[in-house]
Amino acid sequence: MRGVLLLLVALLSGAILMALEMAGIRILAPHFGQSIFEWGSLIGVFLAALSIGYYFGGRLVDRWPNSTILAISLLGAGLLVLALAFPGERGADAHSIAWVLCDALADSDLGPRAAPLVACAIMFFAPAMLMAVTSPFVIRLMVPAIEQVGQTAGLVFAVSTIGSIAGTLGTTFYLLTAWGTRGVVLRLGLLLVLTAGLAAAAWRPRRAAVVAAAVLALCAFSSPACAAERTLLERDSPYHRLFVTEDETSRWLRADNIWHTQMLLADRHGRGLPYSDYIDLAFLFNPNIRSVLVIGLGGGTVPKRFVRDYPSVKVDAVEIDPDVIKIAARYFEVRAGPRLTIHEADGRRFLRKSEQKWDLILLDAYYADTVPFFLTTKEFFKIVSDHLNPNGVFVNNVVGRPSGPKSKFFRSVYRTMSEVFPQAHVFVVPERGFELVNLEVFAMNEKQRVSAAILAERAARMQGTVIKDDRLRQRLNDRVTAPVRTSDVPTLSDDYAPVDALIHLW
């Protein structure tokens, strides 16, 4: 019975450790994003904690070969994890301690590398280190004879790894969506308390059932006090922490810490965030657009407006996040129909598998404040080029600056696109109060460049009639006419695409 309980402790400890690591990125993302810096910080802190925990766990169990120290360590880890979910503010809208800490560090001057690293160290180092003592203790307490050390160590590590797999898959595939980040963290803390009880009961097996029943009841009936923002919806999806909020004039969709969609309540199929208004400029490059592919649905501003304003246009929209599709339908009136088809898929994989071609392809697939690197590379742009009809237009929404010290990401994307498409035109979306802006890059396969005079003539003829935008000619003034310098930035490829560094470090 003692051996079974100790193996169960190893199993649960491994599961909780990896579940906490998976939940950790959801704690960080609303404040720092989900770039390589956040993942690197999280993994690095956990590995450092494990190495130190393994070392001291081995020394402690040699000195005190019983499960009391193990139980104390796991109890301490459980209390520290529970503290992360404890309210850090007063009032009904109270955020957790973890949220308050990350928010403060995000507002500090530590920068995009140090801030998430410090946050991870404060939140996760101590509980992960205390959990790491489990394996040395369980191995030492289960070894019946020196000749069986290897066999016992192998069994313990196998069981612990099985727990880690279960914790990883269970948290990412189900628990975060079912309970939310704070709910998962709260239950992990309670489960650690249970695990500490099992470790203590290993020397008195008759008490194990009582300990398990008591703490499992706490886990089952505990209801986390999730941070109540002024929202219509707050939930975790497999990719984001999603918020739907509403004020007197607009409804908003936020993914992690970035606003993705604005829907005017008085015109629910109309224009939203300023950058989406510029997509209509595509008709100036190709007045005969009949088929549109949008990669990245969000709240569906462009798809539903194109369906309303351009009766001859059919739209395909590709979205990787199933929860975003459901939210778009429920809260933003984006529903499939005869002229709008919604596909749940990764945009690049969807294009690779499709034999269809489109007159207009729009890429708007930002993942919080970054973009999947494989949607910025020369290989991807070649796939896009192959799926454009003659005179087809590719529009890439890029966040950055057209020049200066914060422009390297945009200029790298522009350089990469220019190596695939013979012509590329850039429009800057004017936004007051923001250091970074949206840049809309219009690219075509045709070598004959569309001149400024042709664009102006078409705008004068089509404004407010063919193109449902009474500010079309004004938007033409936002075209970048100066050459974009690309000599000091790399071409992005599947093999080399330092997107996170270019975005965050400039």
pLDDT tens, residue by residue, 371-389: 788 899 999 999 999 999 9
The pair phi, psi for residue 297, each rounded to 5°, is: -80, -50
For the segment 149-163, the average pLDDT, to the nearest whole number, is: 88
Q: Considering the domain boundaries, does residue 141 fall inside one?
A: yes
Kindly list the distances between the CA atom of residue 201 and the CA atoms of 68, 198, 209, 310, 417, in Å, as whole numbers in the listed order: 9, 5, 9, 70, 63
For residues 241 and 280, which has the higher predicted lDDT (pLDDT)? 280
Site of tokens 């070392």: 55
Give the pLDDT band of residue 240 (cuts 50, 70, 90). Answer: confident
Q: Is the pLDDT of residue 250 over 80?
A: yes
Q: Is residue 246 part of a domain?
A: no
Q: What is the C-alpha radius of gyration for the chain, rounded to an integer number of angstroms? A: 27
pLDDT at position 404: 85
DSSP H or E run through 398? strand 388-400
Boundaries of domain holding 376? 265-504
Please check whether residues 220 and 329 belong to one and the same domain.
Answer: no
pLDDT at 94 over 60: no
Query: What CATH number is given to the structural domain containing 217?
Result: 1.20.1250.20
Residue 260 has which token pair? Answer: 């993705």
Residue given tokens 């005179």 in the structure block: 391
Range name among 205-214, 225-234, 280-289, 465-474 with the lowest pLDDT average: 205-214
At residue 456, the pLDDT reads: 93
User: Higher pLDDT residue, 479 or 147?
Assistant: 479
Q: Which tens digit of pLDDT belongs to each residue from 216-232?
A: 555 444 444 443 336 78
**To the nearest whole percent, how much of the chain has pLDDT over 70?**
88
Query: Stretch 53-65: mean pLDDT, rounded?
Result: 90
Same domain, 498 and 400: yes
Same domain, 399 and 347: yes
Note whether 349 and 455 are same-domain residues.
yes
220 and 354 assigned to the same domain: no
pLDDT at position 406 over 90: no
Answer yes or no: do 190 and 277 share one domain.
no
**The pLDDT value given to residue 211:** 52
Write a three-state SS string for 271-311: CCCHHHHHHHHHHHHCCCCCEEEEECCCCCHHHHHHHHHCC
DSSP string, 340-376: EEEEES-HHHHHHH----EEEEEE---BTTB--GGGS
pLDDT band of residue 34 (cuts 50, 70, 90) is low
Query: In this predicted model, which residue has the larger pLDDT, 447 or 179?
Result: 447
Residue 367's pLDDT is: 58
- E-strand ranges in 31-181 read none
302 and 160 in one domain? Answer: no
CATH of the domain at 294: 3.40.50.150
Q: How confident is the model at residue 3 (pLDDT cuts 50, 70, 90)?
A: confident
Question: Is residue 443 in some structural domain?
Answer: yes
Domains of the chain: total:
2
Q: How far is CA 301 from CA 73, 242, 260, in A?
A: 51, 17, 10
pTM score: 0.68
What pLDDT, on the 0 to 100 scale, is given for residue 62?
87
- Averaged over 256-285, what is the pLDDT? 85
For the chain, give the percent of residues with pLDDT over 90: 48
**202 or 212: which leads in pLDDT:** 202
Contact 438, 366 (CB under 8 A): no
Q: What is the C-alpha to C-alpha distance for residues 134 and 74, in angstroms, rounded to an integer?
A: 8
Question: Are 364 and 397 in contact, with CB atoms under 8 Å apart?
Answer: yes
Q: What pLDDT score does 271 carry?
A: 82
Confidence of residue 93 (pLDDT cuts 50, 70, 90): very low
Same-domain check for residues 273 and 348: yes
> Do the domain assignments include residue 260?
no
> Looking at the structure, do residues 208 and 316 belong to the same domain, yes or no?
no
420 lies in some domain = yes
Torsion of CA 410, 412, 416, 421, to 10 degrees: 40
Residue 280 and residue 175 share a domain: no
Asked if the model's pLDDT at residue 303 lies above 70, the reply is yes
User: Quick check: 45 and 379 in contact, CB under 8 A?
Assistant: no
* pLDDT of 209 above 80: no
The band of 17, judged by pLDDT with boundaries at 50, 70 and 90, is: very high
Tell me: do 389 and 317 sit in the same domain. Answer: yes
75 HSE (CA, 13 A, CB side): 13
Highest mean pLDDT range out of 31-40, 206-215, 433-442, 459-468?
459-468
Are 127 and 81 in contact by the 8 Å Cβ rule? The answer is: yes
Tell me, what's the pLDDT at 504? 61
Average per-residue pLDDT in the chain?
85
CB 286 within 8 A of CB 399: no
- Picking from 213-227, 242-256, 306-320, 389-403, which range would have the lowest pLDDT averaged per residue? 213-227
Residue 361 lies in a domain: yes
Whether 348 is in a domain gets the answer yes
- Evaluate if residue 37 carries a pLDDT over 60: yes
Are 275 and 203 in the same domain? no
- Report CA-CA distances (Å) from 425 to 106, 150, 395, 397: 35, 65, 9, 12
pLDDT of residue 222: 47
- Structure-derived torsion over alpha carbons of residues 304, 309, 310, 314, reported in degrees to the nearest 10: 10
Strand arrangement, sheet containing 340-344: 340-344, 314-319, 291-295, 358-363, 388-400, 437-444, 423-428
Tokens of 292: 């549109």
Residue 292 phi, psi (nearest 5)? -130, 135
Does some domain include residue 345?
A: yes
